[in-house]
C-alpha cells in the first residue's frame, strides 16, 4: 500500500513573493489525487516542496511520520526513495536509450546485478506499453512515448508515492486519455499514492479519487472528487468551464469591480469566453480489463462513507449515486438512492454503519 502524505500549514515564498500559504491536506494511501489551479499558482512548486527539492518556509510535510521540512539530510535522502516523479517533459537523458534511462535509478541507488536490473527494466517498459522500444533514443520517439518512458523510470524503485507534473503537456486529447488510463492501471497494480498536477479538465473530472485547487496563494478546497465537481465556488466553476467570467484574469486575479461588471453582462445574456456549462459528475475511469481491482478505490469507499454526512448535499448525492443498488441497500439508503433512510439521527447511524461495513469488507 502507498504511503499517506499529511501536509499541515505548508507555506512557500520566493523572497517577498508568497507562492502559497497555510496549505493543509492529506493524500490518502493508495488513492489518486489531482491538483488544479491557474498558471502561476505554484502547483509545480508544491510538488517540488513535497520531495524536498524546494524548502518550504513553514509548516509540515509528513511522509510515514517523517517531516521532510525539518528532518536531517540523511532522513530526507532516505524518504525520497519512497517517491517516483514524472516531470513535464519526461526529463530523460538524451544521450541514453530508453533501457539505460529506465535503468539509471537502479544503478545509482541499488546494488542489484545487471541481470536483475534487466528483469525490472523490461517489466516496467512492458507495464507502460514500451516493450520493444528499449533501444530507441528519446529524440527518436513521440512526446507521449517519452512521458511513458519517464513513468517507467519513476516506477523502477517501486515507489509508494508517485508525483506527476502536467502529464497532458504537449499531448493531444486522445493521448492524454491513454496516459490517464495508464495512471489508473499502474495504481491498480502498485497501490501507490498518486498526486497529479494538471490543467486538463477531462483528466481532472474522470481520473482522480480526490480533487483540489490552488488559487490566490491558498488551497481553495481539497477532498473527494464529488465535492469540487459540484461546487458553486465561483473560481471552481470558472476553471472547470474555461470561462472568462469569474475571478481568474488573463495574468492575475481580477478586482471586485471587474467581476461585478462581467457578472452583469453575463446575466444580460452576453456570454463572452464560453457558453457551455459543464455540470454533473462523470463516471470515474476504471482500470483496463484484466487489471486487478484498485484497492485504493476500495478503501476510499469506506473512508468517504465515514465522512458522508459532513459533505455538501450535492456531493453526498453524487457519492450515493455512484454506489451499486446492492451497496446502497447495504449502506442503508432507500432503493431509489435519493436520500439516507430514516430521520437525521438514524441517518448519522447509517453513515457509521456504512463505514463499519466497508471496513469489514477490507478484512
**Which CATH number do you get for residue 204?**
3.40.50.300
Inside any domain, residue 342: yes
Q: How far is CA 327 from CA 97, 261, 293, 319, 334, in A?
A: 49, 47, 17, 11, 11
The model carries a pTM of 0.86
The pLDDT, as a whole number, for residue 252 is: 56
Q: Which of 194, 173, 174, 175 is nearest to 183 (CA)?
A: 194
* Residues 201 and 71 reside in one and the same domain: yes
Supply the pLDDT for residue 341.
Answer: 45
Sequence-separated (6 or more) residues with CB below 8 Å from residue 350: 331, 332, 333, 340, 341, 342
**Predicted local confidence at residue 331, as pLDDT:** 84
Range of the domain at 37: 5-82+159-221
**Residue 237 falls inside a structural domain:** no
Given this model, what pLDDT does residue 87 score? Answer: 87
Within-domain flag for 139: no
Residues 38 and 171 in one domain: yes
Tens-digit pLDDT string for the chain (363 aa): 899 999 999 999 999 999 999 999 999 999 999 999 988 889 999 999 999 999 999 999 999 999 999 999 999 999 999 999 998 877 899 899 999 999 999 999 999 999 999 999 999 999 999 999 999 999 999 888 999 999 999 999 999 999 999 999 888 999 999 999 999 999 999 999 999 999 899 999 999 999 999 999 999 999 999 999 999 999 999 888 888 877 887 655 656 666 666 666 666 666 666 556 677 899 999 999 999 999 999 999 999 999 999 999 999 999 999 998 988 888 888 766 555 544 433 444 454 454 454 444 444
Q: Provide CB contacts within 8 A for 323, sequence distance 6+.
A: 331, 333, 337
- From the list 187, 214, 164, 219, the residue with the least C-alpha distance to 38 is 214
Amino acid at each position: 500500500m502507498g504511503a499517506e502524505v499529511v501536509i499541515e500549514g505548508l507555506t512557500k515564498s520566493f523572497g517577498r513573493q508568497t507562492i502559497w500559504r497555510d496549505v493543509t491536506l492529506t493524500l490518502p494511501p493508495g488513492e489518486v489525487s489531482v491538483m488544479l489551479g491557474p498558471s502561476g499558482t505554484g502547483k509545480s512548486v508544491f510538488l517540488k516542496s513535497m520531495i524536498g527539492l524546494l524548502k518550504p518556509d513553514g509548516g509540515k510535510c509528513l511522509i510515514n511520520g517523517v517531516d521532510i521540512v525539518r528532518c536531517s539530510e540523511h532522513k530526507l535522502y532516505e524518504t525520497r526513495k519512497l517517491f517516483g516523479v514524472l516531470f513535464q517533459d519526461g526529463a530523460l537523458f538524451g544521450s541514453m536509450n530508453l533501457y539505460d534511462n529506465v535503468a539509471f535509478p537502479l544503478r545509482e541507488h541499488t546494488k542489484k546485478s545487471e541481470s536483475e536490473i534487466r528483469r525490472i527494466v523490461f517489466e516496467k517498459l512492458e507495464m507502460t506499453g514500451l516493450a520493444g522500444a528499449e533501444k530507441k533514443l528519446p529524440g527518436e520517439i513521440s512526446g507521449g512515448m517519452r512521458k511513458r518512458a519517464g513513468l517507467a523510470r519513476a516506477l523502477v524503485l517501486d515507489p509508494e508515492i508517485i508525483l506527476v507534473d502536467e502529464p497532458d503537456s504537449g499531448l493531444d486529447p486522445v493521448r492524454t486519455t491513454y496516459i490517464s488510463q495508464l495512471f489508473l492501471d499502474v495504481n491498480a497494480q502498485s497501490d501507490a499514492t498518486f498526486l497529479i498536477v494538471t490543467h486538463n479538465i477531462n483528466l481532472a473530472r474522470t481520473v482522480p479519487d480526490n480533487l483540489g485547487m490552488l488559487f490566490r496563494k491558498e488551497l481553495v478546497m481539497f477532498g473527494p472528487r464529488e465535492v469540487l465537481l459540484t461546487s458553486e465556488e465561483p473560481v471552481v466553476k470558472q476553471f472547470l468551464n474555461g470561462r472568462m467570467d469569474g475571478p481568474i484574469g488573463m495574468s492575475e486575479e481580477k478586482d471586485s469591480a471587474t467581476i461585478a461588471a462581467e457578472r452583469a453582462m453575463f446575466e444580460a445574456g452576453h456570454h463572452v469566453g464560453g457558453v457551455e456549462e459543464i455540470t454533473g459528475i462523470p463516471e470515474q475511469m476504471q482500470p483496463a480489463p484484466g487489471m486487478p481491482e484498485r484497492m485504493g478505490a476500495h478503501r476510499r469507499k469506506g473512508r468517504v462513507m465515514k465522512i458522508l454526512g459532513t459533505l455538501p448535499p450535492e456531493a453526498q448525492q453524487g457519492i450515493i449515486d455512484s454506489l451499486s443498488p446492492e451497496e446502497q441497500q447495504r449502506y442503508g439508503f432507500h432503493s431509489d438512492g435519493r436520500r439516507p433512510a430514516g430521520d437525521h439521527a438514524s441517518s448519522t447511524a447509517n453513515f457509521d454503519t456504512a463505514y463499519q461495513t466497508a471496513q469489514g469488507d477490507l478484512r
